[in-house]
A and B are shown apart, each in its own frame.
Chain A
Amino acid sequence: MMDKELLFGRMITCPKIQKTDEEYQRTASFIKGVCQRCGQNQRTSLPRNQFYCQACLILGRVSSLDDLIFLPEPNNFDGQVELVWPGTLTKQQVQVSKDLVKSMEQGRNHLVWAVTGAGKTEMLFPLLLKAFQQKKRVALVSPRVDVIVELAPRLAAAFSNLSQVVLHGKQTTPYGYTQLVLATTHQLLRFKEAFDLLVIDEVDSFPFRGNPMLQYAVQTAQKGTSMIAYLTATPTPDLKTAVKRGNLRVSYLPLRFHQQLLPKLQIKRVNDWRLKMPKLLKKQIEVFIEEQRQFLIFVPYVSDLIIVERYLQDYTQLKGTTVHANDPNRIEKVQQMRQKNIQFLITTTILERGVTLPGIDVLILGADETTFSENALVQIAGRVGRSHERPTGLVLAVVKQVNLSVFRAQKQINAMNQRGCQLKKKFGVKDELSPLSAKD
């Protein structure tokens, strides 16, 4: 029989014909046709009146020939974890981290509504440290695998004596019993009543948003007494509603790590930019060339990439390329941009979040088209001003007509900035925000 540790807080399939020790809790894999691992009712038939769950098949098959086995989470940790991170938090980050600790102590869920580039991860450190020292088991999850892959080394470096495992669809290292689990939200389906603290980063992003199976996974993976911390720059309407109704506590972090406000979303109207390169675009490109500034141009569709690329081919001194979700060289191209080997990328919404390119400007062509939701626009605006050297920059939405999403995105940024201004007064932060000029 397998190592018991590997089953603590886990829910694993086991063929009905395979015997297990009595201490393993065995439950039927389906109750009234509903898969007991993922909570969905999406069965596919097998011969001889058997069936399996199609919804969570990606994690291995749950069939009517299986039981689910489980061992309760014993929290077998020594609590000797130390924080060895050499940095310090800003006053606002300290405030948010205190709020979080308080919510954990009271067993309440908490939303951290922090602007893009606020330093959310670091702000979690006091909360995580407290949890680790209290021998709590912690999961830090995100719908996006790139977020998890990026977080893993940072957390490993920030704490000593901490055991952690990274779980996602493409990882090849086997599962081990650890106090910290870093994983994509899908992986939570393999856990049951395991976590005392569950942090969900980028909670509003695909595929978590509006996915009942993944919401079920979160509910099942936590213990009854646990806390969920949601982190995002752009909360979904249901999270906002929960805050309004008082069901969810919230902390705002309206200032970025360099204490500056978000760059404003500017809106300019043009004629059909797909037919002819707008004058506005020409002028802006000339400014970019003159100032040797790197920039991203967001477009609604993959088919638009070539249109805009052709426009820019007239500028022989400009070097750049296009990128989209299925581009096999996606990572290399972003790397080229980061190393300043190229001056621009024309991109679909794939680069809307998770990408930090210091000192860039952003244009959004067709910002009024349905591809760009309010939150997508806020995330895109968040690509700008992410360095101490250049904490501001240009975010220009180029539209045929201003629509509700563009308007709301602008309002959302302004509202965050208003909170930011108040905070700056409260904490006495000097206003270093320089107006956008040719020389910064």
Chain B
Amino acid sequence: MTNFEKLNNKTVCSGCGRLQDSLKLCFDCQRWQQAGKFLLKNQACFTYNQAMKEYMRMYKFIGDYQLKDIFTKILQSLIKEQGMDIIVPIPVSQQTWLIRGFNQVTAMLESTSYQELLSVALVDKGHQSARQRKDRLISQQPFALSRTIDDLSGKKILLVDDVYTTGATLYHAADLFYQAGVGEVRSVTLAR
């Protein structure tokens, strides 16, 4: 059994936070940039190694909700460090609420004040993990801004998700906020 591998003070891609040899943009982030996106400058607490995959299997897929407590502290302190205006967790669909019974992201944000500005708009968003990379990248916008906030303009938004895999989910969410006129969107994930 491998251990969880922390990413703080490690050399990571400045676009997505993945562990690599230099601070330069990784190939995937260069592609996001070429597609005209503002980079999310994602930061993650841990690598998505075997231990983290096993954790996610137990936590999300088996649904052992109490495992949320393990990383609450480290995730929340990474969020705090970013000093952003509004914390926005990635939502889960109504279907997931009725099957899994919890949002794996908000479950870890107990003492952080966040705003659930996003909702799942597609009837069947499907699970990202069940898709191939290619499918994920070309997928439709799965989210909607759930209510109009008086003034998002110029605000700094921090998106929070459990795992950054291709970035597709987070970039879809970021698109909505940029359309609403925010100043900057960045993201934090538990694992990359």
Contact = CB atoms under 8 A, between A and B. Distances in A.
Interface in A35-67: 44-48, 50, 52, 54, 57, 60-61, 63, 65
Contact of B64 (A45, A57, A65): A57
Interface of A: 15-17, 44-48, 50, 52, 54, 57, 60-61, 63, 65
> Secondary structure of the B side of the interface?
helix
Nearest to B62: A61
B95 A17 contact: yes
Q: Which of B62, B101, B102, B107 has the most CB of A within 10 A?
A: B101
Interface in B107-131: 107
Size range of the chain B interface in the assembly: 10 to 19
Contacts of B95: 17
Contacts of B65: 44-46, 52
B63 A17 contact: no
Given A52-B63, A54-B66, A61-B62, 8 more contacts: A15-B99, A16-B98, A44-B65, A44-B66, A45-B65, A47-B103, A48-B101, A60-B62
A61 B64 contact: yes
Given A52-B63, A57-B64, A60-B62, A46 B102 contact: yes
A109 B49 CA distance: 50
B148 to A, nearest CB: 26
Contacts, number: 35
B24 to A, nearest CB: 40
A65 B107 contact: no
Interface of B: 62-66, 95, 97-99, 101-103, 107
A52 B62 CA distance: 11
Contacts of B63: 52, 61, 63
8 contacts: A15-B98, A44-B64, A44-B66, A46-B65, A46-B101, A46-B102, A47-B103, A60-B62
B91 to A, nearest CB: 13
A254 B107 CA distance: 59
Contacts of A17: 95, 98-99
Contacts of A45: 65
B92 to A, nearest CB: 11
B98 A65 contact: yes
Contacts of B99: 15, 17, 65
Cβ-closest 6 pairs across A and B = A46-B101, A61-B63, A15-B99, A50-B101, A17-B98, A65-B101
Contacts of A57: 62, 64
A57 B59 CA distance: 11
Nearest to B100: A65
A209 to B, nearest CB: 26
Given A44-B65, A57-B64, A63-B63, A52 B98 contact: no
A16 B98 CA distance: 8
B66 A47 contact: no
Contacts of B97: 48
A47 B101 contact: yes
A160 to B, nearest CB: 39
